[in-house]
């Protein structure tokens, strides 16, 4: 059986995207989604959970996520459709499982922008207390919704500008940190401690580091939602995933290695772990660098990463609407901009309502939903590879279609088991609601789901 060439994807011009994205464009999108300076905001937790070896945590996590990226690449080649895991499980394992995977994936993607807006608006309000957090949130949502409706090309331009700015801030920190480590009398110099500390190293720490880093890399899979907008829909997204994962892993390891060298024992931020990286930046560059890094983190999450998240979730809603699993108007494409504008507007309105109404729940509660949705979708992704290629098609490729997804299942499964019990309860409740909805849709209202129709 030859790889699917995308013939099950509708060719009606009213339901087609513009194929304009190159592999470099997709790489930029993936990098923005994962945030090159993401460790700035969570460094204290990473340092603590990794036993003082933050660079090791990210290196191990990068290696662990390669298995998931490989599974994505295999399925993208076979099914070059928008919808990510939803599209693959629907075509590879059946409509019912496909719906459950899409419904679960929505838990991640539709709440990710909410989480990002809450974090960023709260941070900026703390810096500029005269402006309430909700005002920043409204501005972020309106701007990102406008950009996404106008087209993926405009979003791509914004992503490139954002990437340059984030890399510039990171470069300033790297240069100043290297100079401080090489010349300041208070420096401990360059050390292996952030990579390997014999006093705290053990296999459990490595496993914990992998689990932690898996959550840090959530978002790279968003590239898969742009398959129908890529010039090479079968190979481009997979290549971009692998490249963006390698680049972001290197950047994460570099910045956390230098931060670990500046304060190997964590004394610099012991009293304020929530602002750990900013305090390290203050040591090497002064108060101004603390402020620059904090603002860069807030803007990156609140505008640029949230923009990427809204782009991804609108494509998933589009794919599910096109198949009839969700209201079909979600599959409408703008006649001029060639974007799923109804889905995009829905995401904007939904996000704004949730941020303004339930934002006070806090980031921890929202994170529970996001982590459960993403990890469960990853598990279904690996199962789909095994079922479709190794069992259904019986292609006999033990390495690619059995061992690789099994390794991915072990990594993601370990992380999933480590989720907070509340995350599992909330997530399973969401899945149960979706199953009830699907059963009523199919067997009470006799609605036939037509994949790719």
User: How confident is residue 23, by pLDDT bands cut at 50, 70 and 90?
Assistant: very high
Q: What is the pLDDT of residue 217?
A: 81
Q: What is the pTM of this model?
A: 0.89
Q: What is the tens place of the pLDDT at every residue in 58-71?
A: 998 888 889 999 99
Q: What is the pLDDT of residue 453?
A: 44
Q: Is the dihedral of CA 246, 251, 254, 256 positive or negative?
A: negative
Integer-rounded Cα radius of gyration of the chain: 22
Rounded Cα distance between 54 and 264, Å, is 10
**φ and ψ at 21, to 5 degrees?**
-90, 125
Q: 271 or 120: which carries more pLDDT confidence?
A: 271
Q: What is the pLDDT of residue 417?
A: 85
Q: What is the pLDDT of residue 444?
A: 83
Contact assessment for residue 54 and residue 46, using Cβ atoms and an 8 Å cutoff: yes
Rounded Cα distance between 49 and 273, Å, is 12
Contact assessment for residue 21 and residue 177, using Cβ atoms and an 8 Å cutoff: no
Instruction: Please report, for the chain, the start and end positions of each structural domain, with discontinuous segments joined by +.
Output: 23-444
Residue listed under structure tokens 């059986």: 1
Q: What is the pLDDT of residue 133?
A: 85
pLDDT at 4 over 50: no
Give, in order, the Cα–Cα distances in Å from 327 to each of 110, 233, 307. Answer: 16, 26, 23
Among 412, 75, 375, 395, smallest CA distance to 241 is for 75
pLDDT at 3 over 50: no
| Tokens (6 digits) for 144 | 């990102």
Topology (CATH level 3) of domain 23-444: Amino acid/polyamine transporter I (1.20.1740)
pLDDT at 379 over 90: yes
pLDDT at 211 over 70: no
Q: 303 or 93: which carries more pLDDT confidence?
A: 93
Mean per-residue pLDDT, 137-159: 90
Q: What is the pLDDT of residue 163?
A: 94
Mean per-residue pLDDT, 28-48: 89
Mean per-residue pLDDT, 127-133: 85
Q: What is the pLDDT of residue 449?
A: 66
**Beta pairing partners, 230:** 21
Residue listed under structure tokens 């978002």: 219
Q: What is the tens place of the pLDDT at every residue in 416-440?
A: 888 888 889 989 999 999 999 999 9
Rounded Cα distance between 162 and 435, Å, is 39
Contact assessment for residue 87 and residue 237, using Cβ atoms and an 8 Å cutoff: no
Rounded Cα distance between 196 and 200, Å, is 8
User: How confident is residue 360, by pLDDT bands cut at 50, 70 and 90?
Assistant: low
pLDDT at 159 over 70: yes
Mean per-residue pLDDT, 279-285: 96
Q: 167 or 16: which carries more pLDDT confidence?
A: 167
Q: What is the pLDDT of residue 210?
A: 62
If you average pLDDT over every residue of the chain, what do you get? 87
Rounded Cα distance between 328 and 107, Å, is 20
pLDDT at 7 over 50: no
């Amino acid at each position: 059986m030859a790889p699917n060439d995308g013939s099950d994807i509708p060719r009606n011009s009213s339901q087609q995207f513009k194929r304009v994205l190159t592999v470099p464009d997709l790489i930029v999108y993936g990098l923005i989604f994962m945030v090159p300076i993401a460790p700035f905001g969570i460094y204290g937790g990473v340092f603590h959970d990794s036993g003082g070896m933050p660079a090791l945590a990210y290196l191990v996590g990068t290696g662990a996520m390669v298995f998931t990226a490989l599974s994505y690449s295999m399925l993208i080649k076979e099914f070059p459709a928008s919808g990510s895991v939803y599209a693959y499980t629907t075509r590879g394992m059946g409509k019912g499982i496909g719906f459950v995977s899409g419904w679960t994936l929505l838990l991640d993607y539709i709440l990710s922008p909410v989480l990002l807006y809450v974090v960023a608006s709260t941070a900026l309000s703390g810096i500029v207390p005269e402006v309430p957090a909700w005002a920043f949130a409204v501005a972020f949502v309106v701007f990102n919704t406008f950009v996404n409706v106008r087209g993926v090309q405009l979003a791509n331009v914004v992503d490139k500008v954002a990437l340059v700015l984030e890399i510039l801030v990171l470069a300033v920190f790297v240069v100043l940190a290297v100079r401080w480590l090489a010349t300041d009398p208070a420096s401990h110099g360059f050390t292996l401690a952030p990579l390997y500390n014999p006093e705290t190293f053990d296999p459990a720490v490595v496993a914990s580091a992998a689990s932690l880093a898996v959550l840090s890399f959530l978002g790279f899979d968003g590239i898969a939602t742009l398959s129908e907008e890529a010039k090479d829909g079968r190979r481009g997204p997979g290549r971009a995933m692998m490249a963006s994962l390698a680049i972001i892993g290197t950047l994460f390891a570099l910045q956390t290695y230098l931060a670990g060298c500046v304060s190997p024992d964590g004394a610099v931020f012991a009293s304020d772990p929530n602002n750990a990286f900013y305090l390290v930046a203050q040591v090497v560059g002064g108060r101004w660098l603390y402020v620059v890094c904090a603002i860069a983190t807030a803007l990156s999450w609140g505008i640029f990463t949230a923009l990427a998240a809204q782009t991804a979730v609108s494509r998933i809603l589009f794919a599910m609407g096109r198949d009839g699993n969700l209201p079909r108007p979600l599959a409408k494409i703008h006649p001029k901009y060639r974007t799923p504008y109804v889905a995009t507007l829905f995401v904007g309105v939904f996000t704004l309502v949730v941020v303004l109404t339930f934002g006070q729940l806090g980031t921890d509660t929202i994170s529970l939903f996001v982590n459960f949705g993403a990890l469960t979708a990853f598990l279904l992704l690996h199962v789909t590879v095994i079922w479709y290629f190794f069992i259904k098609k019986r292609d006999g490729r033990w390495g690619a279609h059995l061992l690789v997804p099994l390794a991915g299942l072990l990594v993601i499964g370990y992380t999933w088991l480590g989720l907070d019990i509340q995350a599992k309860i909330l997530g399973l409740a969401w899945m149960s609601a979706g199953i009830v909805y699907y059963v009523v849709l199919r067997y009470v209202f006799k609605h036939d789901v037509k994949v790719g129709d």
